[in-house]
């Protein structure tokens, strides 16, 4: 399959609880097209329906659900052909599988290499001052730090350049991303 690069698809990644969702919500309020992280939505839907595709019940099933949603989100954004900010992308599924020490199917690697986002990826660094757990986020801060490291490695391995988001207010973080998008 030919590589498809969507330079209008901008990824925001990092560990859980590092302010990505608040940042994406702020950018959406500012009028930018945004794709929310699928993981939280999957957890909420599974809890509501009594399903088990949960990171603490069926990690492989949870990963597949994230993969299918990430691929559908990518294709929808590509069809819309407008600047779109993503709270995580296909490579995050690979990172999740690595963290869980689960096998990574060749098809997942292939999809991450085929469906490419903008070559620069924004990454939110570990920030204990803002980290909280809730019903859907049960990881410790140490697990969140490990997630950050794995995501940084996966995106780098796939040839993306990482831009570290500064630890500052949500408004300033949004402005930082907007300024970096417009420079490229």
pLDDT of residue 88: 94
User: Which backbone phi and psi does 30 adopt, to 5 degrees?
Assistant: -85, 0
pLDDT of residue 183: 65
Q: Which residue has the higher pLDDT, 57 or 101?
A: 101
Distance CA 148, CA 165 (A): 12
Distance CA 151, CA 91 (A): 8
* pTM recorded for the entire structure: 0.91
Q: What is the dihedral of CA 70, 76, 80, 84, to 10 degrees?
A: -10
pLDDT band at 87 (very low <50, low <70, confident <90, very high): very high
Strands 161-164 and 120-124: parallel
pLDDT of residue 106: 95
CATH classification (class only), 4-183: alpha beta
pLDDT of residue 74: 94
Query: What digits encode the pLDDT tens for the residues 30-64?
Result: 999 999 988 777 888 877 888 878 777 788 888 99
Distance CA 118, CA 14 (A): 16
pLDDT of residue 61: 86
Query: What digits encode the pLDDT tens for the residues 143-163?
Result: 889 999 999 999 999 999 999
């Amino acid at each position: 399959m030919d590589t498809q690069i969507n330079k209008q698809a901008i990824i925001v990644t990092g560990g859980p609880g590092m302010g990505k969702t608040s940042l994406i919500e702020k950018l959406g309020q500012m009028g930018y097209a945004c794709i929310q992280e699928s993981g939280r939505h999957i957890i909420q839907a599974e809890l509501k329906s009594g399903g088990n595709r949960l990171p603490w019940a069926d990690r492989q099933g949870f990963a597949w659900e994230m993969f299918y949603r990430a691929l559908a989100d990518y294709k929808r954004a590509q069809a819309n052909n407008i600047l779109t900010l993503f709270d995580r992308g296909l490579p995050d599924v690979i990172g999740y599988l690595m963290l869980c020490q689960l096998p990574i199917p060749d098809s997942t690697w292939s999809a991450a290499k085929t469906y490419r986002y903008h070559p620069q990826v924004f990454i939110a660094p570990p920030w204990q001052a803002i980290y909280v757990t809730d019903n859907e986020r049960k990881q410790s801060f140490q697990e969140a730090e490990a997630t950050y490291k794995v995501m940084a490695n996966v995106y780098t391995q796939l040839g993306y350049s990482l831009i570290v988001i500064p630890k500052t207010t949500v408004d300033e973080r949004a402005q930082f991303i907007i300024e970096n998008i417009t420079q490229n």
